[in-house]
A and B are shown apart, each in its own frame.
Chain A
């Protein structure tokens, strides 16, 4: 070995010293090799004191063999400097590394392994009891973990609230599809006379009966989730969760009672809520989708503000139930979707009684008369000029977008970064945030799809990776989706604009056709509205990279195609697949490029 370090004359007993160092590291929960005059050593000791964690410090400047010990440490850890920190036998590093470990939670994790500390209350705490949160919790519990789910609905400005299950179950997919079905049945009744059904009565729609039936079903789902959490031994709290320090949350229930809980790992699944316009009268007099599905009175003449799928789906079924509906659009329809399809969706709605006011935004909503519904006056401005629009409506439904519920849950306290522009949480491909013990799933993810099945899949796979030894990641490519407007629009893969951007127009072959569903022939419904489009990548064997269909049962049709696309469907394979007749799904796309 090297000559004795400066300050020592005798040759050190290296083996003895190594043993001494190793013993010190092993017998103290926190071992700090320090020097009494070193400010960084003091900083590190300060940190542990603030955490109420006992440490043992060996001051090498006043210890016999101090310099030799420093040498041993250098060989052991590649670190010559002090402080040299070990926690439960694990080498952390110097002052910076120790603080870093504190901020990202790995320090606490190492400390937690000791029998002396309080273990965490739970293995996993999930904030948010929606599609993602519940799926993740049940999977983790099934893998034997101790899990808690917190779910809390902050009431809307009008006082609406709901039970366990999240947006999809309570104010999203489920009631939306049921109301869409109610509207389709209305259309079916109209068609039925052409098929020979004869009845005298005038057919009217009773909003209250529909809402009660739908809410009853949702109530049974809320209860079902509670029972299934109980059966899987997941602890459920109807409380608002916020982070107050690393690994610890504060839970506040409706009565204001507060409890605290700690966990080794956290999952954020808080979802989103509708955005308001920020104009006078919006929160006092307007409703959103959060209120619509449980509205105790028929909304009457309705203005829908927005052009998202929420806006168009709601406008669609309200019109289908016989109401006078207008949609006010600031710019384009269905942003993010294939625009040719979006315009076709809108055109169909327009020819079937939905009024569209394009390139206008509301600037004020006043109440003319209270009531259920009341009368509201809406003033809107053109986005292109000085034109003003004024009109009276019974109800104004705002559907201009949804904001992630990430601003008031204490994320800044534990250092979780969010995208300041939209509040969403950036994660890596394992749904992990910048803080290693905090994950996120569902609608709050930055740059990912806002769909229930995606959240469920991400939640389940995350639990399996955390606790089941799996390494399967969630596949966000080629996720199918359907917009349930009166004429349904299903799609899987790329919109045409995106495909052109990514592959170049010359590398694409687009096959398309209009079709007339057989069931529409007899009642004489549109024969030039239903439409299907398939986008293929020429240099990849004409692989299907985009599938779009506008027609009845689009969701059912698209689901099968999604599986085929996942298997690498090509145009040739599609052509070789014999169709089922007579269906919409069998439509053969004509030759030729769009």
Chain B
């Protein structure tokens, strides 16, 4: 009996049906490589595509491969662009993608983009090209204004989700909210918290009134308590709320109606906003704290001290908490005692300008780890950290999948012993077998990288700054971390030796970023020569030399033979910023003149 070719006798519809249970895109990528038949079935039935680097593939090719595409997720600029390390106009343009989708995938329903540059024209095109468009999610994007939002609101007849997270949006006035047509009643999720300007409150109220399915609503700072109360009275089924400005007088009507409105929202699970929150308004929140699973106070410096403690002690079901370090170790101790289910904690620095008294220390972190053993995701900014604290933390919480610790002063040693923090971070990688994302800081030698290479087998993303002694450090990581996808390094003494230690490794990764390290043009050229499947891009401001070449266009810059400046013989020049990524799309055609592809 021929069992081994049984699959070939299945009709395509059956295989397609089997594939429909594969939602995880790496799995779908894998099945598509089995054979031509499966490749074809898979690509025609694929509904969701994730492109982690928008330059890894040309938009047209992606659209052609997946004509049935309904949902597209794109990421543009390198992660360090969040911290101003990538010059403006670097790229990450959404336009070509939206145009390609408009041509080939008219059934597009969802578009999620992160760190991309989106223009109003592109949003306009989006609004008209996709009749079934349902969800637009933009995270850390820029290049558009409220006019673009108006276009989307106006023309997307079945818009369900408009989610704007931490974007830089040019505010051209509050009229965009009016653009939602009167017959638009399909909104489920609306987040405009990052808009800086005024909002037409009446329009907002009317919009909410005609959106019975609204589950998530995040307002911006311009929305006062009066409006918030009215809105909440309209949607008692709200699950996720971002408040506007939480300032109200004690006996004002606004305050009283806020209290009663909040009490009606029995399904509220997630709260954020808290702009300018007064202690009084916090009191109004207490009754719903017991059911909260998510709480974001990271934009609320007014919520600290006893106010914070009073609030957080009720939040017994909390899973995710984002706070400022002004809550202090004391506040974190209360979190540890109250929030036993906590899985994710982020502690942001509250004051970047003055070096005030230390607000959270290793004590707070140890307390959290003791009280919240389910913690698996951490982002912690602090002034100092000790090895013993890190060792304790990793013993208490072996389940970390994301661990990011930022000690504010670069290269700071363990203050108790004056030693590097190699052992502390080493303990984390040894104990946390599922660690996927890791960011380290403080004084660190090559030893920490030895540990990472040896133990962090599940690691996918590593961020390093001001660490290491020699090339060996980076080499440990490249050799040891089998699942590494993204490596970003700044201000470390790694040079050409490290860069070229294992060049084929970069083909297994999404990208490598190195800035302010010790690599030279010669090393980068060598990498480019050995690995044609990679784009090796350097960002340099060698101004004087670039003057001549400015008008010559990108094509000549890319071509090694013609470029005077890349090939003027001085290959020993240090490369300030290097971005290497695998791609099937060839060199970028939209690179600005300060980006050179070798």
Chains A and B are bound partners: no
Residues of B in contact with A (beta carbons under 8 Å apart): none
